[in-house]
Chains A and B, each alone.
Chain A
Amino acid sequence: MIKIEDLHKSYVMGSNSLHVLKGIDFNVKEGELVSIMGSSGSGKSTLLNILGMLDEADEGSYVLDGVPIKNLNEKVAAQYRNKFLGFIFQSFNLINYKNAVDNVAMPLYYQGIKRKERMDKAMHYLEKVGLAQWATHLPSELSGGQKQRVAIARALASDPKVLLADEPTGALDTKTSYEVMELIQGINDEGKTILVVTHEPDIAEMTKRIVNLKDGRIIDDTVVKQVIAKSYV
């Protein structure tokens, strides 16, 4: 599903150049649930941004579902993001003046799907995350866990190839974190490929494979036995 070879990325800051990714080789097969770990500055966010086509690598190749991701202009990048990827953020990034179902329907709006169909689909995914009865509530009326679940529903709405989650539990307490991970595991069980960036070992253990980054290099890549989040909840 994801194929990365010899990926390099540097940021130029004034006269200094910061070499963040120093040759990453990394493959993800369909249906995997991978966590990317590392301390801050290890380059994990940069890697996720490149995977998310929010940023572009200086060197190396990136192939997503057989499509080479290279030299994208903003328009094509936006279309690819919409078609291939679903994002889950640490701070949820819901649009705060839109209610839950409208938030979920956002990616569908940008796909040009008609309103009625959009709403049907959005409701379907809200049900899936267990928030159907909260459909008309604004984000400010939801708890952190609920917000993240709305965000997950939104990420799923466009039926992407890959879900990219950047510290999805970073702003949540332990119990809620496990609830969210349970949901993520459930989605993965249905066959969706998911990448989770996290620095919490307990969250990482709930994935099927842990990739450790340090100073811009992968130092460790192991398949682990998945801890089922449900057992904690």
Chain B
Amino acid sequence: MFDLERWQEIFETLSKNKLQTFLTMVSVFSGVLILIILIGFSTGIQNGVRSEFEQDATNRISIRAGITTKEFKGLNPGRRIQLRNEDFAEINRKYEEDIEYKTGIYNIWGGQTTYGKESGNYRIEGAYPDQQFIENASMVTGRFISQDDMDESRKIVVIGNQVKKDLFKDKDPIGESVKIFGINFKVVGVYTDPGGEREETRLFLPLPTAQKVFFGGDRIRSMAYTVKMSDNFDEAVALSAALSENFETDLKSKYSVSPDDRSAFRVNNTLEEARKIYSLIDTISAVFWFIGLGTIIAGVVGVGNIMLIVVKERTKEIGVRKALGALPSSIVGMILQEAIFITAIAGFSGLFLGVIALNIASPLIDSDFIKFPRVDFATSITIVLIIIFAGALAGYFPARRAAHIKPIEALRDE
């Protein structure tokens, strides 16, 4: 392998077949390049989708009430179902063991909010302290809603980072008062959400405060939970699915809704969806690998093909070498090394260029579903191994043929 002589021979033979070598290298090169870019993008899609899910806790279950569409027990369809505090409390009691975080939500769309001269319309949500974790929000400054705020129905507000930027600019908002529909609330915290701007244009109030101030009574718009996660993802998905179903069944029987009425309650099980999307991503990345490996195989077949031609063209030379005492193993070694060399050079250039291309493209891609396409170290190593293996495979058959060349036939003059 480190025999200088061998390398000289390889370069000599390759330079003899410049065009063929070049074309073969191009096919391996483009195969690897395509594989790298496909894998990069499938990683990008994974990153993108993952960050979509990171907006909220992945184990979240949300429940919303709607309008019935089916007649049931003498009740007409078209009935509006209204969730109330007691529904929330009942579920909490009944499924306490499986629930991690919980909140009832009373929200108002387009709540006009002003601070000094600045104003904007934001979504106002009355919620529980747990909302922070269910929304996957983290605090920039100050604190989130506390239990005391709830108990005393304090007129405080936690604002999103975007709201803070809109209304307060660079000023510290903590302790300041904002007016929502003309009513004063004291800002106690600023939160940020991985979901970005859209998720940060909200204001959170303690639920009882929101219900009192905005005439909500004991009505709530929706409820959100997170399921206690077990280490096993599949178990967690199963628990989440079972829980969602139980919530729905309980509420349907309580409100006399037909069991097959799908619009009266909308139970959204993020974990189940996550599982579906993740398995979709797995499929996508498998397809990408398949395509990429397919192109590499095409390239490798090209290398094998050219090596066969090389062996054919050099039949006489190989015959001479054997007559002069070349061992079959040295002939096999020569052809194998040549094939591995070609594939490795072409493959590594493809790998290198692919990684560079991804690095350049990465910041330019602005899509919610593709983020930071890249190829990680382990994958690169895998690809390198694949390249070397492919080179060896491409060289093997021609090498075997070369080793079987009979000098007597190769040297025949006619």
Contacts and interface: CB of A to CB of B under 8 A. Distances in A.
Interface of A: 49, 52, 54-55, 74-75, 78-79, 81-83, 87, 89-91, 93-95, 97-98, 106-107, 109-111, 115, 154, 158
Contacts of B407: 54
A78 B327 contact: yes
B324 A110 contact: yes
Contact of A54 (B321, B323, B327): B323
A95 B328 contact: no
B221 to A, nearest CB: 83
Given A55-B408, A93-B411, A98-B12, A107 B328 contact: no
B330 interface: yes
A74 B321 CA distance: 13
Contact of B5 (A55, A78, A83, A109): A109
Taking each of B5, B324, B330, which has the highest tally of chain A beta carbons within 10 Å of its own beta carbon? Answer: B324
Interface in B365-414: 403, 406-408, 411, 413
Interface residues of B, number: 25
Contacts of A97: 12-13, 16
Nearest to A106: B324
Contacts of B16: 97
Given A75-B329, A110-B330, A52 B5 contact: no
B328 A78 contact: yes
Nearest to A76: B327
Given A97-B12, A98-B12, A78 B411 contact: no
A82 B324 contact: yes
A53 to B, nearest CB: 9
5 contacts: A49-B408, A75-B329, A78-B326, A93-B319, A110-B324
Interface string B1-25: 0001100000011001000000000
B320 interface: yes
Contacts of B323: 52, 54, 81, 87, 93
B164 interface: no
Nearest to A79: B325
B316 interface: yes
Given A98-B12, A109-B5, A89 B411 contact: yes
A91 B16 CA distance: 21
Nearest to B328: A74
A107 B413 contact: no
B317 interface: yes
A95 B327 contact: no
Contacts of B319: 93
A101 B343 CA distance: 32
A4 B316 CA distance: 29
B15 to A, nearest CB: 8
Contacts of A74: 327-328, 403
A106 B8 CA distance: 13
B322 interface: yes
Taking each of A82, A93, A107, which has the highest tally of chain B beta carbons within 10 Å of its own beta carbon? Answer: A93
Given A54-B408, A89-B411, A93-B320, A83 B12 contact: no
Contacts of A94: 320
B148 to A, nearest CB: 87
A75 B317 contact: no
Interface string B318-359: 011111111111100000000000000000000000000000
A95 B325 contact: no
A94 B316 CA distance: 10
A74 B403 CA distance: 9
A52 B322 CA distance: 12
Given A81-B323, A97-B13, A109-B5, A91 B408 contact: no
A219 to B, nearest CB: 25
B326 A110 contact: yes
B5 A110 contact: no
Taking each of B16, B321, B325, B403, which has the highest tally of chain A beta carbons within 10 Å of its own beta carbon? Answer: B325
B325 A81 contact: yes
Given A54-B406, A97-B13, A82 B411 contact: no
Contacts of A79: 325, 327
A122 B67 CA distance: 99
Contacts of A107: 324-325
A87 B325 CA distance: 11
Contacts of A55: 408
A81 B407 CA distance: 11
A137 B151 CA distance: 100
A78 B320 contact: no
Contacts of A54: 323, 406-408, 411
A196 to B, nearest CB: 16
Contacts of A95: 317, 320-321
Minimum-distance CB pairs A-B, first 5: A82-B325, A54-B408, A110-B325, A107-B324, A93-B320
Contacts of B327: 74-75, 78-79, 110
A89 B413 CA distance: 9
A65 B96 CA distance: 97
A97 B17 CA distance: 12
B317 A83 contact: no
Contacts of A90: 413
A87 B321 CA distance: 11
Nearest to B6: A109
Taking each of A110, A111, A154, which has the highest tally of chain B beta carbons within 10 Å of its own beta carbon? Answer: A110
A77 to B, nearest CB: 9
Contacts of B329: 75
Contacts of B322: 78, 81
A52 B5 CA distance: 27
A171 B22 CA distance: 37
A49 B411 CA distance: 11
A225 to B, nearest CB: 31
A115 B319 CA distance: 23
A134 B317 CA distance: 21
Contacts of B13: 97
